[in-house]
């Protein structure tokens, strides 16, 4: 079976992109990174792509008169590279419904919360302010509304009594670096199906009956 050709869209450091690069470099990976695309010319992630010998291109959104013109250029570049799946990894541009619909079920994203909780920005600060005991990250297919779409994989991260937003963000990021490659591996192995806006995964198993935070030592 031919490997799934993916593109990764970035705007910054590209740490989740690096996790995908590391996965795709493994012997049994069912996906290959055909392109890294950034809208920021000096994004650190472009250096990561170069170090991994992954082709990259910059399309500066500031050079386009409208969001639609920018996205048209992005789509043309992706299609010129025969991209089958687009992975957003810290791509800091809101996408129009036209773009999202064009790439429907071929566009995924990772978000640092357990969606549908804490959509948008400042997820860790908001989780701490609300006093929830768990947060985490979510990999999902993208839909037109921000941070919505069928959920592929989630990772739960317990919130500790002495957490601040920085320490929590670091632990969630570790979970992201596990979650995103795993979600990609499921898609690349053709194990995912979207039925009624829910993702069914062939052979999926739940991790356990329950997790407590704080733990019950009685």
Instruction: For residues 17 and 9, give the distance between their C-alpha atoms in angstroms, rounded to a whole number.
Output: 8
Q: Return the domain boundaries, the chain.
A: 1-103, 110-205
How much of the chain is in helix, strand and coil states, percent to nearest 5? 35, 25, 45
Give residue 85's pLDDT band: very low, low, confident or very high (50, 70, 90): very high
Say yes or no to pLDDT of 218 above 60. no
Say yes or no to pLDDT of 167 above 70. yes
Mean pLDDT score, 166-173: 98
CATH of domain 110-205: 3.40.50.170
Find all residues with CB under 8 Å of 10, minimum gap 6, and list them: 17, 36, 37, 38, 40, 43, 45, 46, 89, 90, 91
Residues annotated catalytic, as ranges: 111
Say yes or no to pLDDT of 205 above 60. yes
Mean pLDDT score, 150-161: 98
Mean pLDDT score, 69-87: 98
Find the length of the chain: 218
For the entire predicted model, the pTM comes to 0.96
Mean pLDDT score, 102-115: 98
CA angle 82, 14, 80 (to 5 degrees): 15
- Do domains 1-103 and 110-205 share one topology? The answer is yes
Cross-strand partners of 31 = 4
- pLDDT for position 210: 86
What CA–CA distances, in Å, run from 138 to 109, 143, 176?
8, 14, 8
Instruction: For residues 117 and 13, give the distance between their C-alpha atoms in angstroms, rounded to a whole number.
Output: 25
CATH superfamily of 1-103: Formyl transferase, N-terminal domain (3.40.50.170)
């Amino acid at each position: 079976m031919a490997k799934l050709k993916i593109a990764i869209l970035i705007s910054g450091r590209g740490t989740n992109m690096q996790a995908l690069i590391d996965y795709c470099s493994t012997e049994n990976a069912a996906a290959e990174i055909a392109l890294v695309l950034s809208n920021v010319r000096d994004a650190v992630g472009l250096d990561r792509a170069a170090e991994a010998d992954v082709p990259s291109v910059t399309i500066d959104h500031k050079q386009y008169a409208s969001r639609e013109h920018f996205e048209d250029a992005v789509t043309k570049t992706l299609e010129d590279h025969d991209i089958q799946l687009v992975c957003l990894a810290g791509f800091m541009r809101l996408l129009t419904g036209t773009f999202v619909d064009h790439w429907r079920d071929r566009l995924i994203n990772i978000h640092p919360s357990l969606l549908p909780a804490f959509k948008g920005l400042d997820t860790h600060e908001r989780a701490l302010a609300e006093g929830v005991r768990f947060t985490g990250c979510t990999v999902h297919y993208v839909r037109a509304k921000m941070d919505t779409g069928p959920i592929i994989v989630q990772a739960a991260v317990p919130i500790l009594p002495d957490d601040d937003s920085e320490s929590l963000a670091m632990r969630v990021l570790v979970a992201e670096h596990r979650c995103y490659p795993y979600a990609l591996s499921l898609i690349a192995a053709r194990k995912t199906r979207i039925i009624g806006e829910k993702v069914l995964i062939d052979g999926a198993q739940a991790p356990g009956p329950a997790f407590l935070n704080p733990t019950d030592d009685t």
